[in-house]
Structure 1
Amino acid sequence: MATSTKSDACPLHPDAALIEDSSAGDQICSDCGLVVGHRVVDRGSEWRTFNNEESSTERSRVGAPEKPYRSGSDLTTIIGPSPSGPSKFKIGGPKYRNRKSLTSTNRTLEDGFLQIASMADKMNLPSCIVDRANVLFKRVQDGKHLRGHSSDGIIAACLNIACRQEGVPRGFKEICAVSMVSKVESSRCYNYVRKVLKISVDSTTSGDFMARFGSNLELPYKVQRVATDIAEQAVKMDIVSGRSPISVAAAAIYMASQASEDKRSAKQIEEITGVAIGTIRQAFRLMYPQAAQLFPKDFEFATTIDKLPRL
């Protein structure tokens, strides 16, 4: 039981606090025990409490969270015909009938939500990014900004923006790898969505990708930290102007790993980052002449700079 903050009050003790019995749905006066209200709806979330000492579980009420990007916040109910009804209702099954009942606008939204979920699943993205991408796609749809533009490109752009807003940016190549659009189309739709929705997104840096790439390459944290310092210093010294943050990150990882005991080849880095070996080579050659200034002063070299392999 918990103390209620309802506006109801006991007629005998109006100032007394009410106790809410969620299991029975009653509101009880704490002074006299009078049941002031009954059949009270429990608006708390549902969960199960598992007890290791008992085989049974305690259940709270059911109820799915609201989804603002769906019509009716996803709290609507579709009632279909009885299975024992006329045979014409059985054709196509319930999912087919429900889909036929959708308007063209809602059908476009549902298709977009399914595609976003599929792309996010391939990229192992959390549900918070999926929800944010769905909200963005609905905003584009509600504003009638889809006309004249590729639906697949808009969907890819929404997912790209959602990743950046959540602080886990993905490169255009990574987005294109799980979508059906080219890099040029993805970039064009990305800029278009940002413009029509008036979204300001912070520009990405090499450091935004370093932790994920380093983890996938199984690099120790100290090597990841050195690679981040190399990339940041290269940008400050204007050595890699015109190069994308992902390319700079890949080259910095190659340089840092080759100078440490945990070496990674350009081929391994290409497989994880998606940056071609030729692109890594170009960025590395720009950085190598200034390598002595890029490495932290306290870095312990396993391989000295003059003996680093040239790409």
Structure 2
Amino acid sequence: MSTTEHTSQAGETTVSSTTDSCPDCGGTVRSQHHERVYTDCGLVVETDNLDRGPEWRSFDDDGETPARTGAPLTVARHDRGLSTEIGHKTDARGSTLTGPKRAQLFRLRREQVRSRFQSKADRNLADGLS
């Protein structure tokens, strides 16, 4: 990718603009749906930008009270940040769990950790990214 800078001077004001041109076809860059693409040849320059902002969603019928629904997707995790973590001592309401329920959740956590990876490559990728 080459960058060409055009500068023009009108009186005392200097105006500069930067345009990217393709090294193959000389086309210009178009940004569309988190991708930067050259208009003439279709070469993708940049894609899959990280969304670091919160995901807001309204659970009411009126749509006026948005709530945070979870962490944004990330390419820095093997599962794009979509895995579930099962808690240890309390339930979703914050109440303390009884002994049998804690034992059941221990077994569920163990199976959830085993099922999170579909292959050895996924497990190695998760180890490498953490």
Task: Mark yes or no: TM-score above 0.5.
Answer: no
Structure of greater relative contact order (alpha carbons < 8 Å, 6+ residues apart): 2
Greater strand content: 2
Instruction: Using structure 1 for the length normalisation, give the TM-score.
Output: 0.14
Greater helix content: 1
Instruction: Using structure 2 for the length normalisation, give the TM-score.
Output: 0.26
Task: Report the structure number with the largest CA radius of gyration.
Answer: 1
